[in-house]
Amino acid sequence: MRRYKAGKLLGQGTFAKVHHAMSLRTGIHVAIKIIDKEKILKVGMIDQIKREISVMGLVRHPNVVQLHEVMASKSKIYFVLEYVKGGELFNKVAKGKLKEDIARKYFQQLMSAVDYCHSRGVYHRDLKPENLLLDDNGNLKVSDFGLSALAESKRQDRLLHTTCGTPAYLAPEVISRRGYDGSKADVWSCGVILYVLLAGYLPFHDSNLMEMYRKISKAEFKFPNWFPPDIRRLVSRILDPNPKTRISIAKIMDNSWFRKGLGLNAVRRDIKEKDLATIDTDAVFGPHENSSTSAEPKQESANPSNLNAFEIISLSAGFDLSGLFEANDQKKEVWFTSIQPAKTIVTKLEDIAKRLKMKVVKKDRGLLKLEGSKEGRKGVLSIDTQIFEVTPTFHLVEVKRSGGDTLEYQKIMKQDIRPALKDIVWTWQGDRPQPQPLQHEQPELQPSQVVQMQVASPQNPQERNCL
């Protein structure tokens, strides 16, 4: 901090504080995000912070908050960011709807930034007015890439699978937990933002979270009477619940309403490669830190993925959302809970794979892939098993067919996998939990427990719609 003079506190969260500061060398005003290393190490957020650093180093755009540099001490990490003092766009919308020309200007700048991010393989995944800042000249700046994903995060199906974001801005396919295209999900969020800017309230809102999800899944919303036909047509094409037919960014940018007032020199993908920063994320944490993104060969690990609130809700009895999105009743996955350690679960799955002559491929985030050795009617059978930690003494395991014949998968599940897992399973999806011997430690969280979530209310702009 000898290079910067720290000023007033701008904001504070669970793991970080943001201060206004000034460079002692150049006199430029910046914002410094100070992250507590010990706290993020304890909750396993190293990879998330590394990803945020990598993403912000990749995107250099006039409508994205710029990362100047990253510094680190033994106990802190310092993000030196562009200082955007105009505040959140949310504060403007909280006062009511914006004029059409102003809303269009912000939307043009938002799409320019998002289009560029996608060209760099970056998907924001939490676009909302609270994460859009305004500078002195009233220009929009996209911020907070903490939940963003890189193209390399996609699985073999070329889709993202982590359910994250803010409920009212989530695309239907993200809620469904069936995998989603990050670019199409971002486009949906931009459509919700456009609606909010022009209407002054959310298109999808309900005090009952599940009812709000149902409305999102069906794109069930109404236009205010002051929306002209051209805006209605554009918003309807963006808020298309089918990601395959949802309008693309390129077509949004060619839309006649969008292009009004847009100069010929509009910013798109015109940032030169030499302007992009490369930051050594491992150096921020030091070579001694144990992280899956380390340059050293990765050790096979049984570390489970943390289960977030969206996933607990969508998997818990009575909160299964799959019926809103699936045309048939035949699911590709089932799940079970266990009060055994993650290593015990992994060992059991490896034993089953060995007995079935299947190869085990270990991935990060508690994912194990079981692959058959013979070609079936529809290719080689492949089964994904992913371990989620709900509490240190309670795990949830998802078992899903990722390749091969459905009938072969169902047969092997019924005759081999389920019987072989009976010693470690506490309860299967849809079953009642069986009493456990007294020597087992009881889990802290029962599957039937409800996870409380806070959803923003347009009537109360002070409420934040976040988990």
Site of tokens 């918003």: 235
* CA-based end-to-end distance of the chain: 33
Please indicate whether residue 126 is annotated as part of the active site: yes
Cα dihedral 72, 76, 78, 84, rounded to 10, equals 180
Cα dihedral 50, 52, 57, 59, rounded to 10, equals 150
Cβ pair 307, 446 in contact under 8 A:
no
Q: How far is CA 430 from CA 318, 319, 337, 446, in A?
A: 10, 12, 11, 13
**Cα separation, 133 vs 325, whole angstroms:** 34
Cβ pair 261, 99 in contact under 8 A:
no
Check the annotation: does 363 bind a ligand.
no
Catalytic residue among 115, 126, 186, 240: 126
**Cα separation, 184 vs 195, whole angstroms:** 17
Query: Can you tell me whether residue 29 is helix, strand or coil?
Result: strand
Cβ pair 94, 461 in contact under 8 A:
yes
Query: Can you tell me whether residue 339 is helix, strand or coil?
Result: coil
**Cα separation, 35 vs 14, whole angstroms:** 9
Count other C-beta atoms under 10 Å from residue 265's C-beta: 7
Query: Can you tell me whether residue 412 is helix, strand or coil?
Result: helix
Residues annotated as binding site for ATP? 33
Residues annotated as binding site? 33
> What residues are annotated to the active site?
126
